[in-house]
Structure 1
Protein backbone atom coordinates (compact mmCIF):
# COMPACT_ATOMS: atom_id res chain seq x y z
CA UNK A 1 0.00 0.00 0.00
CA UNK A 2 2.87 2.39 0.84
CA UNK A 3 4.48 1.64 -2.51
CA UNK A 4 1.17 2.25 -4.30
CA UNK A 5 0.77 5.64 -2.60
CA UNK A 6 4.32 6.58 -3.62
CA UNK A 7 3.56 5.62 -7.22
CA UNK A 8 0.37 7.69 -7.23
CA UNK A 9 2.03 10.69 -5.59
CA UNK A 10 4.88 10.78 -8.09
CA UNK A 11 2.48 10.18 -11.00
CA UNK A 12 0.44 13.15 -9.79
CA UNK A 13 3.50 15.41 -9.69
CA UNK A 14 4.59 14.35 -13.18
CA UNK A 15 1.03 14.65 -14.51
CA UNK A 16 0.79 18.26 -13.34
CA UNK A 17 4.10 19.14 -14.99
CA UNK A 18 3.16 17.44 -18.25
CA UNK A 19 -0.20 19.22 -18.39
CA UNK A 20 1.63 22.50 -17.77
CA UNK A 21 3.82 21.77 -20.81
CA UNK A 22 7.03 20.75 -19.03
CA UNK A 23 8.13 18.64 -20.83
CA UNK A 24 6.18 19.47 -23.98
CA UNK A 25 4.61 16.80 -26.24
CA UNK A 26 7.29 14.91 -28.11
CA UNK A 27 9.99 15.68 -25.57
CA UNK A 28 11.57 12.92 -23.47
CA UNK A 29 11.11 12.66 -19.74
CA UNK A 30 14.21 12.88 -17.55
CA UNK A 31 15.93 9.57 -16.92
CA UNK A 32 14.65 7.31 -14.19
CA UNK A 33 17.64 8.13 -12.00
CA UNK A 34 17.09 11.87 -12.49
CA UNK A 35 13.40 11.57 -11.70
CA UNK A 36 14.18 9.60 -8.55
CA UNK A 37 16.71 12.19 -7.38
CA UNK A 38 14.59 15.21 -8.30
CA UNK A 39 11.48 13.93 -6.53
CA UNK A 40 13.10 12.05 -3.67
CA UNK A 41 11.60 8.80 -4.87
CA UNK A 42 13.00 5.31 -5.16
CA UNK A 43 13.35 3.61 -8.56
CA UNK A 44 10.35 1.37 -7.92
CA UNK A 45 8.11 4.43 -7.45
CA UNK A 46 9.44 5.92 -10.69
CA UNK A 47 8.63 2.73 -12.58
CA UNK A 48 5.18 2.55 -10.99
CA UNK A 49 4.42 6.19 -11.81
CA UNK A 50 5.38 5.67 -15.44
CA UNK A 51 3.06 2.66 -15.66
CA UNK A 52 0.19 4.90 -14.49
CA UNK A 53 1.04 7.68 -16.94
CA UNK A 54 1.32 5.23 -19.83
CA UNK A 55 -2.12 3.83 -18.98
CA UNK A 56 -3.51 7.39 -19.05
CA UNK A 57 -2.01 8.03 -22.48
CA UNK A 58 0.23 10.84 -21.22
CA UNK A 59 3.50 9.00 -21.75
CA UNK A 60 4.69 6.60 -24.42
CA UNK A 61 7.93 4.91 -25.37
CA UNK A 62 10.05 5.69 -28.39
CA UNK A 63 12.86 3.34 -29.44
CA UNK A 64 16.20 4.74 -28.36
CA UNK A 65 14.60 7.63 -26.47
CA UNK A 66 12.80 6.02 -23.57
CA UNK A 67 9.59 7.57 -22.19
CA UNK A 68 8.36 10.65 -24.05
CA UNK A 69 5.38 12.94 -23.50
CA UNK A 70 2.53 12.22 -25.92
CA UNK A 71 0.38 14.84 -27.61
CA UNK A 72 -3.12 14.85 -26.08
CA UNK A 73 -5.58 12.63 -27.91
CA UNK A 74 -9.06 13.87 -28.70
CA UNK A 75 -11.45 12.41 -26.19
CA UNK A 76 -14.76 10.59 -26.56
CA UNK A 77 -17.60 11.34 -24.14
CA UNK A 78 -20.58 8.99 -24.20
CA UNK A 79 -23.61 9.78 -22.10
CA UNK A 80 -27.09 8.38 -21.69
CA UNK A 81 -28.76 11.26 -23.54
CA UNK A 82 -27.21 10.46 -26.93
CA UNK A 83 -29.89 7.90 -27.92
CA UNK A 84 -32.83 10.30 -27.46
CA UNK A 85 -30.77 12.92 -29.29
CA UNK A 86 -30.33 10.50 -32.20
CA UNK A 87 -34.00 9.49 -32.16
CA UNK A 88 -35.14 13.11 -32.27
CA UNK A 89 -32.82 13.79 -35.20
CA UNK A 90 -34.23 10.86 -37.18
CA UNK A 91 -37.35 12.96 -37.85
CA UNK A 92 -35.54 16.16 -38.84
CA UNK A 93 -34.88 17.19 -42.44
CA UNK A 94 -31.98 15.76 -44.44
CA UNK A 95 -29.91 18.92 -44.28
CA UNK A 96 -30.06 18.93 -40.48
CA UNK A 97 -29.15 15.24 -40.27
CA UNK A 98 -26.17 15.74 -42.57
CA UNK A 99 -24.83 18.61 -40.47
CA UNK A 100 -23.68 16.52 -37.54
CA UNK A 101 -23.87 12.98 -36.19
CA UNK A 102 -23.35 10.97 -33.02
CA UNK A 103 -19.55 10.89 -33.36
CA UNK A 104 -19.40 14.64 -33.78
CA UNK A 105 -21.65 14.96 -30.74
CA UNK A 106 -19.45 12.64 -28.66
CA UNK A 107 -16.13 14.21 -29.65
CA UNK A 108 -16.91 17.89 -30.16
CA UNK A 109 -15.84 17.64 -33.81
CA UNK A 110 -17.47 18.87 -37.00
CA UNK A 111 -18.20 16.79 -40.08
CA UNK A 112 -15.19 18.08 -42.02
CA UNK A 113 -12.86 17.04 -39.17
CA UNK A 114 -13.64 13.36 -39.58
CA UNK A 115 -12.51 10.46 -41.75
CA UNK A 116 -15.12 7.70 -41.84
CA UNK A 117 -15.21 4.17 -43.22
CA UNK A 118 -17.80 1.40 -43.22
CA UNK A 119 -17.63 -2.25 -44.22
CA UNK A 120 -20.75 -4.39 -44.66
CA UNK A 121 -20.68 -8.19 -44.61
CA UNK A 122 -23.52 -10.72 -44.66
CA UNK A 123 -23.02 -13.21 -41.85
CA UNK A 124 -25.10 -15.76 -39.96
CA UNK A 125 -25.83 -15.60 -36.25
CA UNK A 126 -23.63 -17.79 -34.09
CA UNK A 127 -24.79 -18.79 -30.62
CA UNK A 128 -23.70 -15.53 -29.00
CA UNK A 129 -25.29 -13.25 -31.58
CA UNK A 130 -28.44 -15.38 -31.67
CA UNK A 131 -28.86 -14.95 -27.91
CA UNK A 132 -28.10 -11.21 -28.05
CA UNK A 133 -30.61 -10.58 -30.84
CA UNK A 134 -33.21 -13.14 -29.77
CA UNK A 135 -33.11 -14.96 -33.12
CA UNK A 136 -32.38 -18.59 -34.10
CA UNK A 137 -28.80 -19.59 -34.79
CA UNK A 138 -28.06 -19.30 -38.49
CA UNK A 139 -30.28 -16.22 -38.98
CA UNK A 140 -28.96 -13.96 -41.74
CA UNK A 141 -27.47 -10.77 -40.33
CA UNK A 142 -25.85 -7.66 -41.72
CA UNK A 143 -22.55 -7.02 -39.98
CA UNK A 144 -21.51 -3.37 -40.17
CA UNK A 145 -17.99 -2.39 -39.11
CA UNK A 146 -17.40 1.32 -38.57
CA UNK A 147 -14.26 3.35 -38.01
CA UNK A 148 -14.12 7.12 -37.53
CA UNK A 149 -11.01 9.13 -36.78
CA UNK A 150 -10.04 12.77 -36.66
CA UNK A 151 -8.22 13.82 -39.81
CA UNK A 152 -5.19 14.86 -37.73
CA UNK A 153 -4.87 11.48 -35.98
CA UNK A 154 -4.06 7.96 -37.13
CA UNK A 155 -6.17 6.02 -34.63
CA UNK A 156 -9.99 5.82 -34.67
CA UNK A 157 -12.10 6.99 -31.75
CA UNK A 158 -13.31 3.44 -31.25
CA UNK A 159 -14.01 0.11 -32.94
CA UNK A 160 -17.68 -0.50 -33.70
CA UNK A 161 -19.37 -3.68 -34.96
CA UNK A 162 -23.15 -3.67 -35.45
CA UNK A 163 -25.51 -6.55 -36.30
CA UNK A 164 -29.03 -6.22 -37.72
CA UNK A 165 -31.28 -9.06 -39.01
CA UNK A 166 -31.29 -8.74 -42.79
CA UNK A 167 -35.02 -9.35 -43.05
CA UNK A 168 -35.61 -5.98 -41.37
CA UNK A 169 -33.71 -4.17 -44.10
CA UNK A 170 -34.52 -5.97 -47.34
CA UNK A 171 -37.37 -3.63 -48.30
CA UNK A 172 -34.85 -0.78 -48.63
CA UNK A 173 -31.81 -1.94 -50.69
CA UNK A 174 -29.80 1.19 -49.80
CA UNK A 175 -29.63 -0.08 -46.21
CA UNK A 176 -27.65 -3.10 -47.43
CA UNK A 177 -25.17 -0.96 -49.37
CA UNK A 178 -22.04 0.25 -47.55
CA UNK A 179 -21.51 2.94 -50.19
CA UNK A 180 -24.59 4.74 -48.79
CA UNK A 181 -22.64 5.42 -45.59
CA UNK A 182 -22.35 7.64 -43.69
CA UNK A 183 -26.13 7.59 -43.48
CA UNK A 184 -27.47 10.96 -42.32
CA UNK A 185 -28.88 10.57 -38.84
CA UNK A 186 -27.27 7.21 -38.06
CA UNK A 187 -28.84 3.86 -37.25
CA UNK A 188 -32.13 5.14 -35.88
CA UNK A 189 -32.67 7.13 -39.06
CA UNK A 190 -31.84 4.05 -41.13
CA UNK A 191 -34.34 1.94 -39.19
CA UNK A 192 -37.01 4.62 -39.52
CA UNK A 193 -36.91 4.26 -43.33
CA UNK A 194 -38.25 0.71 -42.91
CA UNK A 195 -40.83 1.65 -40.28
CA UNK A 196 -38.85 0.62 -37.21
CA UNK A 197 -38.99 2.84 -34.12
CA UNK A 198 -36.46 2.19 -31.35
CA UNK A 199 -38.19 2.08 -27.96
CA UNK A 200 -35.28 1.49 -25.60
CA UNK A 201 -31.53 1.03 -25.60
CA UNK A 202 -29.65 -1.10 -23.09
CA UNK A 203 -25.90 -0.70 -22.75
CA UNK A 204 -23.59 -2.91 -20.72
CA UNK A 205 -20.07 -1.63 -20.09
CA UNK A 206 -17.11 -3.73 -19.03
CA UNK A 207 -13.35 -3.22 -19.07
CA UNK A 208 -10.52 -5.54 -20.09
CA UNK A 209 -7.04 -5.53 -21.59
CA UNK A 210 -7.08 -4.99 -25.35
CA UNK A 211 -6.29 -7.73 -27.79
CA UNK A 212 -3.05 -7.18 -29.74
CA UNK A 213 -5.06 -6.15 -32.82
CA UNK A 214 -7.16 -3.68 -30.81
CA UNK A 215 -4.08 -2.17 -29.18
CA UNK A 216 -2.43 -1.68 -32.56
CA UNK A 217 -5.49 -0.18 -34.28
CA UNK A 218 -6.31 2.16 -31.39
CA UNK A 219 -2.68 3.14 -30.86
CA UNK A 220 -2.70 2.11 -27.20
CA UNK A 221 0.36 2.25 -25.00
CA UNK A 222 1.41 -0.47 -22.61
CA UNK A 223 -1.02 -0.94 -19.74
CA UNK A 224 -3.95 0.90 -21.34
CA UNK A 225 -7.26 -0.93 -20.95
CA UNK A 226 -10.33 -0.70 -23.18
CA UNK A 227 -13.98 -0.19 -22.32
CA UNK A 228 -16.29 -2.60 -24.10
CA UNK A 229 -19.82 -1.32 -24.60
CA UNK A 230 -22.45 -3.81 -25.73
CA UNK A 231 -25.63 -2.09 -26.91
CA UNK A 232 -29.02 -3.68 -27.62
CA UNK A 233 -31.63 -1.51 -29.35
CA UNK A 234 -35.20 -2.80 -28.95
CA UNK A 235 -38.13 -1.57 -31.03
CA UNK A 236 -41.70 -0.83 -30.00
CA UNK A 237 -42.69 -4.44 -30.77
CA UNK A 238 -40.11 -5.84 -28.34
CA UNK A 239 -37.62 -7.02 -30.99
CA UNK A 240 -33.89 -6.42 -30.66
CA UNK A 241 -33.32 -4.68 -33.99
CA UNK A 242 -29.63 -3.85 -33.59
CA UNK A 243 -26.90 -5.26 -31.38
CA UNK A 244 -23.55 -3.51 -31.33
CA UNK A 245 -20.19 -3.87 -29.67
CA UNK A 246 -18.07 -0.74 -29.29
CA UNK A 247 -14.47 -0.97 -28.08
CA UNK A 248 -13.30 2.36 -26.65
CA UNK A 249 -9.74 3.31 -25.66
CA UNK A 250 -9.42 3.71 -21.90
CA UNK A 251 -6.92 6.55 -22.16
CA UNK A 252 -9.31 8.97 -23.90
CA UNK A 253 -12.89 7.70 -23.54
CA UNK A 254 -15.27 8.57 -20.74
CA UNK A 255 -18.76 7.24 -20.06
CA UNK A 256 -21.10 9.54 -18.13
CA UNK A 257 -24.43 8.34 -16.73
CA UNK A 258 -26.87 10.88 -15.34
CA UNK A 259 -29.92 9.63 -13.45
CA UNK A 260 -32.66 12.17 -12.84
CA UNK A 261 -34.55 11.35 -9.65
CA UNK A 262 -38.16 12.10 -8.89
CA UNK A 263 -38.58 14.86 -6.33
CA UNK A 264 -40.37 14.21 -3.07
Structure 2
Protein backbone atom coordinates (compact mmCIF):
# COMPACT_ATOMS: atom_id res chain seq x y z
CA UNK A 1 0.00 0.00 0.00
CA UNK A 2 1.41 3.40 -0.98
CA UNK A 3 2.02 6.33 1.32
CA UNK A 4 -0.77 8.90 1.58
CA UNK A 5 0.39 12.17 -0.05
CA UNK A 6 1.24 14.88 2.48
CA UNK A 7 -1.39 17.30 1.19
CA UNK A 8 -4.08 14.68 1.83
CA UNK A 9 -2.67 14.06 5.32
CA UNK A 10 -2.97 17.78 6.03
CA UNK A 11 -6.50 17.87 4.60
CA UNK A 12 -7.46 14.85 6.75
CA UNK A 13 -6.18 16.59 9.88
CA UNK A 14 -8.05 19.82 9.13
CA UNK A 15 -11.19 17.86 8.20
CA UNK A 16 -11.05 16.09 11.58
CA UNK A 17 -10.76 19.42 13.40
CA UNK A 18 -13.83 20.70 11.57
CA UNK A 19 -15.81 17.51 12.28
CA UNK A 20 -14.89 17.54 15.98
CA UNK A 21 -15.83 21.20 16.39
CA UNK A 22 -12.29 22.28 17.14
CA UNK A 23 -12.69 24.53 14.11
CA UNK A 24 -16.10 26.19 14.13
CA UNK A 25 -18.03 27.75 11.21
CA UNK A 26 -16.46 31.14 10.51
CA UNK A 27 -13.07 30.20 12.02
CA UNK A 28 -10.02 30.86 9.90
CA UNK A 29 -7.86 27.91 8.90
CA UNK A 30 -4.15 27.90 9.74
CA UNK A 31 -2.18 30.01 7.29
CA UNK A 32 -0.02 28.51 4.57
CA UNK A 33 3.06 29.54 6.57
CA UNK A 34 1.72 27.81 9.72
CA UNK A 35 0.88 24.61 7.81
CA UNK A 36 4.25 24.64 6.06
CA UNK A 37 6.06 24.87 9.40
CA UNK A 38 3.86 22.33 11.21
CA UNK A 39 4.14 19.72 8.47
CA UNK A 40 7.67 20.57 7.29
CA UNK A 41 6.41 20.77 3.73
CA UNK A 42 6.52 23.12 0.75
CA UNK A 43 3.98 25.98 0.52
CA UNK A 44 2.57 24.37 -2.64
CA UNK A 45 1.75 21.21 -0.64
CA UNK A 46 -0.11 23.25 1.97
CA UNK A 47 -2.05 25.10 -0.73
CA UNK A 48 -3.06 21.79 -2.32
CA UNK A 49 -4.45 20.66 1.06
CA UNK A 50 -6.53 23.84 1.34
CA UNK A 51 -7.77 23.34 -2.21
CA UNK A 52 -8.96 19.81 -1.36
CA UNK A 53 -11.15 21.22 1.42
CA UNK A 54 -12.41 24.00 -0.83
CA UNK A 55 -13.41 21.48 -3.53
CA UNK A 56 -15.25 19.48 -0.86
CA UNK A 57 -17.24 22.57 0.04
CA UNK A 58 -15.97 22.59 3.65
CA UNK A 59 -14.38 26.03 3.51
CA UNK A 60 -14.93 29.38 1.84
CA UNK A 61 -12.47 32.03 0.74
CA UNK A 62 -10.03 32.52 -2.08
CA UNK A 63 -8.92 35.43 -4.26
CA UNK A 64 -7.11 37.13 -1.40
CA UNK A 65 -9.59 36.15 1.31
CA UNK A 66 -8.43 33.87 4.12
CA UNK A 67 -10.10 30.43 4.00
CA UNK A 68 -12.71 29.96 6.73
CA UNK A 69 -14.87 27.04 7.81
CA UNK A 70 -18.19 26.93 5.99
CA UNK A 71 -21.32 26.76 8.13
CA UNK A 72 -23.62 23.75 8.03
CA UNK A 73 -26.00 23.82 5.09
CA UNK A 74 -29.63 22.75 5.39
CA UNK A 75 -30.27 19.87 2.99
CA UNK A 76 -33.77 18.84 2.07
CA UNK A 77 -34.50 15.09 1.82
CA UNK A 78 -35.84 13.84 -1.50
CA UNK A 79 -38.36 10.99 -1.63
CA UNK A 80 -38.96 9.15 -4.88
CA UNK A 81 -41.99 6.89 -4.53
CA UNK A 82 -43.57 4.81 -7.25
CA UNK A 83 -46.83 6.78 -7.09
CA UNK A 84 -45.57 10.31 -7.67
CA UNK A 85 -45.70 10.14 -11.48
CA UNK A 86 -49.37 9.19 -11.24
CA UNK A 87 -49.90 12.27 -9.07
CA UNK A 88 -48.23 14.31 -11.81
CA UNK A 89 -50.54 12.77 -14.39
CA UNK A 90 -53.60 13.51 -12.27
CA UNK A 91 -52.42 17.11 -12.02
CA UNK A 92 -52.47 17.50 -15.83
CA UNK A 93 -56.26 17.75 -15.94
CA UNK A 94 -56.51 20.16 -13.01
CA UNK A 95 -57.08 23.94 -13.42
CA UNK A 96 -54.09 26.08 -14.41
CA UNK A 97 -53.97 27.88 -11.06
CA UNK A 98 -53.57 24.56 -9.28
CA UNK A 99 -50.91 23.36 -11.72
CA UNK A 100 -48.86 26.52 -11.19
CA UNK A 101 -48.24 25.84 -7.51
CA UNK A 102 -47.69 22.08 -7.61
CA UNK A 103 -44.75 20.47 -9.33
CA UNK A 104 -42.13 17.75 -9.06
CA UNK A 105 -40.18 19.61 -6.36
CA UNK A 106 -43.22 19.68 -4.08
CA UNK A 107 -44.04 16.03 -4.77
CA UNK A 108 -40.51 14.78 -4.09
CA UNK A 109 -39.05 17.22 -1.55
CA UNK A 110 -42.10 18.96 -0.12
CA UNK A 111 -40.57 22.36 -0.90
CA UNK A 112 -42.94 25.04 -2.28
CA UNK A 113 -42.13 26.10 -5.83
CA UNK A 114 -42.02 29.72 -4.65
CA UNK A 115 -38.97 28.91 -2.49
CA UNK A 116 -36.93 27.71 -5.48
CA UNK A 117 -35.18 29.48 -8.30
CA UNK A 118 -35.64 27.47 -11.48
CA UNK A 119 -33.79 27.61 -14.79
CA UNK A 120 -34.40 25.79 -18.06
CA UNK A 121 -32.26 25.72 -21.19
CA UNK A 122 -33.44 24.22 -24.47
CA UNK A 123 -31.40 23.45 -27.56
CA UNK A 124 -31.89 21.45 -30.73
CA UNK A 125 -29.58 18.48 -31.24
CA UNK A 126 -29.46 15.21 -33.17
CA UNK A 127 -29.90 11.69 -31.88
CA UNK A 128 -26.70 9.72 -31.51
CA UNK A 129 -26.65 5.93 -31.93
CA UNK A 130 -27.67 5.26 -28.31
CA UNK A 131 -30.50 7.80 -28.34
CA UNK A 132 -31.74 6.57 -31.71
CA UNK A 133 -31.99 3.05 -30.29
CA UNK A 134 -33.88 4.29 -27.22
CA UNK A 135 -36.47 6.13 -29.33
CA UNK A 136 -36.61 3.57 -32.13
CA UNK A 137 -35.90 6.34 -34.63
CA UNK A 138 -33.11 6.88 -37.19
CA UNK A 139 -29.77 8.20 -36.02
CA UNK A 140 -29.61 11.94 -36.65
CA UNK A 141 -33.30 12.50 -35.80
CA UNK A 142 -33.77 16.02 -34.45
CA UNK A 143 -34.21 16.15 -30.68
CA UNK A 144 -34.94 18.90 -28.20
CA UNK A 145 -32.50 18.76 -25.27
CA UNK A 146 -33.89 20.35 -22.11
CA UNK A 147 -31.73 20.98 -19.03
CA UNK A 148 -33.50 21.87 -15.78
CA UNK A 149 -32.13 23.06 -12.45
CA UNK A 150 -33.77 24.20 -9.23
CA UNK A 151 -31.85 25.96 -6.45
CA UNK A 152 -33.22 26.80 -3.01
CA UNK A 153 -33.44 30.59 -2.79
CA UNK A 154 -32.41 30.78 0.86
CA UNK A 155 -29.61 28.22 1.10
CA UNK A 156 -28.34 28.31 -2.48
CA UNK A 157 -28.26 24.49 -2.47
CA UNK A 158 -29.22 22.69 -5.65
CA UNK A 159 -32.56 20.91 -5.23
CA UNK A 160 -32.97 19.19 -8.61
CA UNK A 161 -31.06 18.74 -11.85
CA UNK A 162 -32.16 16.84 -14.93
CA UNK A 163 -31.72 16.65 -18.68
CA UNK A 164 -34.31 15.25 -21.08
CA UNK A 165 -34.59 14.55 -24.79
CA UNK A 166 -37.77 14.62 -26.88
CA UNK A 167 -37.98 14.00 -30.65
CA UNK A 168 -38.79 17.35 -32.26
CA UNK A 169 -41.41 15.75 -34.49
CA UNK A 170 -43.52 14.84 -31.44
CA UNK A 171 -43.90 18.36 -30.07
CA UNK A 172 -43.23 20.84 -32.90
CA UNK A 173 -46.98 21.32 -33.51
CA UNK A 174 -46.99 23.48 -30.36
CA UNK A 175 -44.29 26.19 -30.76
CA UNK A 176 -44.59 27.09 -27.06
CA UNK A 177 -42.92 23.77 -26.23
CA UNK A 178 -39.79 24.85 -28.12
CA UNK A 179 -39.26 28.04 -26.11
CA UNK A 180 -37.55 27.73 -22.72
CA UNK A 181 -38.85 31.16 -21.69
CA UNK A 182 -42.19 29.42 -21.06
CA UNK A 183 -40.64 27.53 -18.15
CA UNK A 184 -41.55 26.68 -15.47
CA UNK A 185 -44.52 25.10 -17.23
CA UNK A 186 -47.64 24.72 -15.07
CA UNK A 187 -48.19 21.00 -14.68
CA UNK A 188 -44.73 19.96 -15.85
CA UNK A 189 -43.73 17.81 -18.80
CA UNK A 190 -46.81 15.59 -18.72
CA UNK A 191 -49.00 18.62 -19.33
CA UNK A 192 -46.63 19.78 -22.09
CA UNK A 193 -47.09 16.45 -23.85
CA UNK A 194 -50.85 16.62 -23.24
CA UNK A 195 -50.99 19.85 -25.30
CA UNK A 196 -49.84 17.89 -28.38
CA UNK A 197 -52.15 14.94 -27.75
CA UNK A 198 -49.67 12.65 -26.00
CA UNK A 199 -50.80 10.66 -22.96
CA UNK A 200 -48.18 8.77 -20.98
CA UNK A 201 -49.02 5.27 -19.83
CA UNK A 202 -45.71 3.92 -18.52
CA UNK A 203 -42.40 5.01 -17.02
CA UNK A 204 -39.38 2.75 -17.18
CA UNK A 205 -36.65 3.70 -14.73
CA UNK A 206 -33.21 2.48 -13.72
CA UNK A 207 -30.86 3.86 -11.06
CA UNK A 208 -27.07 3.81 -11.05
CA UNK A 209 -24.57 5.31 -8.59
CA UNK A 210 -21.58 7.40 -9.67
CA UNK A 211 -19.08 9.60 -7.86
CA UNK A 212 -19.83 13.32 -8.23
CA UNK A 213 -17.26 15.86 -9.33
CA UNK A 214 -15.97 18.38 -6.76
CA UNK A 215 -18.14 21.03 -8.43
CA UNK A 216 -21.25 18.88 -8.09
CA UNK A 217 -20.50 18.25 -4.40
CA UNK A 218 -20.40 21.97 -3.78
CA UNK A 219 -23.66 22.68 -5.59
CA UNK A 220 -25.49 19.91 -3.76
CA UNK A 221 -23.70 20.50 -0.41
CA UNK A 222 -22.63 16.84 -0.37
CA UNK A 223 -20.19 15.12 1.97
CA UNK A 224 -17.05 13.60 0.51
CA UNK A 225 -17.50 9.96 -0.41
CA UNK A 226 -21.25 10.25 -0.98
CA UNK A 227 -22.27 8.94 -4.41
CA UNK A 228 -24.70 10.57 -6.78
CA UNK A 229 -27.74 8.60 -7.93
CA UNK A 230 -28.51 8.91 -11.63
CA UNK A 231 -32.13 8.03 -12.42
CA UNK A 232 -32.60 7.16 -16.08
CA UNK A 233 -36.23 7.32 -17.24
CA UNK A 234 -38.13 6.46 -20.39
CA UNK A 235 -41.59 8.01 -20.81
CA UNK A 236 -43.82 5.73 -22.91
CA UNK A 237 -47.12 6.83 -24.42
CA UNK A 238 -50.34 4.91 -25.01
CA UNK A 239 -49.10 3.99 -28.50
CA UNK A 240 -46.06 2.28 -27.02
CA UNK A 241 -43.59 4.94 -28.22
CA UNK A 242 -40.71 6.24 -26.10
CA UNK A 243 -41.53 9.95 -26.32
CA UNK A 244 -39.03 11.28 -23.79
CA UNK A 245 -35.78 10.05 -22.29
CA UNK A 246 -34.36 11.78 -19.25
CA UNK A 247 -31.64 11.63 -16.62
CA UNK A 248 -32.12 13.14 -13.17
CA UNK A 249 -29.45 13.32 -10.47
CA UNK A 250 -29.93 13.05 -6.72
CA UNK A 251 -27.44 12.93 -3.80
CA UNK A 252 -27.56 9.47 -2.23
CA UNK A 253 -27.24 10.84 1.32
CA UNK A 254 -30.69 12.46 1.23
CA UNK A 255 -32.60 10.44 -1.33
CA UNK A 256 -35.06 7.70 -0.43
CA UNK A 257 -36.40 5.49 -3.20
CA UNK A 258 -39.63 3.67 -2.38
CA UNK A 259 -40.98 0.94 -4.63
CA UNK A 260 -44.12 -1.09 -4.12
CA UNK A 261 -44.87 -4.17 -6.19
CA UNK A 262 -48.38 -5.58 -6.18
CA UNK A 263 -48.61 -9.38 -6.51
CA UNK A 264 -51.49 -11.24 -8.15
CA UNK A 265 -53.60 -13.58 -6.02
CA UNK A 266 -53.42 -17.26 -6.85
CA UNK A 267 -56.55 -18.37 -8.63
CA UNK A 268 -58.65 -21.28 -7.29
CA UNK A 269 -57.56 -23.23 -10.37
CA UNK A 270 -53.86 -22.73 -9.57
CA UNK A 271 -54.37 -23.76 -5.93
CA UNK A 272 -56.32 -26.87 -6.97
CA UNK A 273 -53.66 -27.83 -9.51
CA UNK A 274 -50.90 -27.41 -6.89
CA UNK A 275 -52.85 -29.51 -4.38
CA UNK A 276 -53.35 -32.29 -6.95
CA UNK A 277 -49.65 -32.25 -7.78
CA UNK A 278 -48.72 -32.49 -4.10
CA UNK A 279 -51.10 -35.44 -3.66
CA UNK A 280 -49.56 -37.30 -6.56
CA UNK A 281 -46.03 -36.81 -5.24
Report TM bin, short chain.
0.7 to 0.9
Between the aligned partners of 1:112 and 1:204, the Cα distance in structure 2 is 30
- More moved, 113-122 vs 146-155: 146-155
Deviation string for 1:132-169 (max 9, x for gaps)?
22221101000000001211122312320000000111
Cα distance between partner residues in 1 of 2:25 and 2:201: 47
- Secondary structure of the residue aligned to 1:128 is helix
Q: Structure 1 length normalisation: TM-score?
A: 0.73
| Residue 178 (structure 1) aligns with | 180
Q: Deviations over 1:26-45 (max 9, x none)?
A: 489xxxxxxxxxxxxxxxxx
Residue equivalent to 2:94 = 92
Q: Secondary structure at the match of 1:143?
A: strand
- Which 4+ runs in 1 deviate beyond 6 A? 63-69
1:252 corresponds to: 254
List alignment gaps of at least 5 residues for structure 2: 1-18, 28-55, 61-65, 267-281
Q: Is the alpha carbon distance of 1:128 and 1:215 closer, same or farther for their aligned partners in structure 2, counting shifts above 3 Å?
A: farther
Structure with higher RCO (Cα < 8 A, 6+ apart): 1
SS of residue in 2 equivalent to 1:117: strand
Q: Offset of 1:201 from its aligned partner?
A: 0.4
Aligned to 2:113: 111
Where in structure 1 are there 5+ consecutive unaligned residues? 1-17, 29-58
**Displacement of 1:115:** 0.8
Partners in 1 of 2:68 and 2:111 — Cα distance? Answer: 33
Between 1:67-76 and 1:228-237, the stretch displaced more is: 67-76
Instruction: Report the RMSD for the aligned CA atoms in angstroms.
Output: 2.7
Q: 230-239 or 249-258, which moves further after superposition?
A: 249-258
1:121 and 1:212 mapped to 2: Cα distance?
Answer: 26
User: Alpha-carbon deviation of 1:88?
Assistant: 0.8
Name 2:48's counterpart in structure 1.
Answer: none
Q: Which moved more, 1:207-216 or 1:150-159?
A: 207-216
Whether the 8 Å CA contact 2:232–2:247 is kept in 1: the answer is: yes
Alpha-carbon distance change, 90 to 167 in structure 1, aligned in 2, over 3 angstroms: same
Alignment-derived partner of residue 62 in structure 1: 59
* Count of aligned pairs: 214
Matches within 5 A, 1:69-84: 70-84=72-86
Higher mean C-alpha displacement, 190-199 vs 221-230: 221-230
CA contact under 8 A between 1:158 and 1:249: conserved in structure 2? no
TM-score, normalised to structure 2, is 0.69
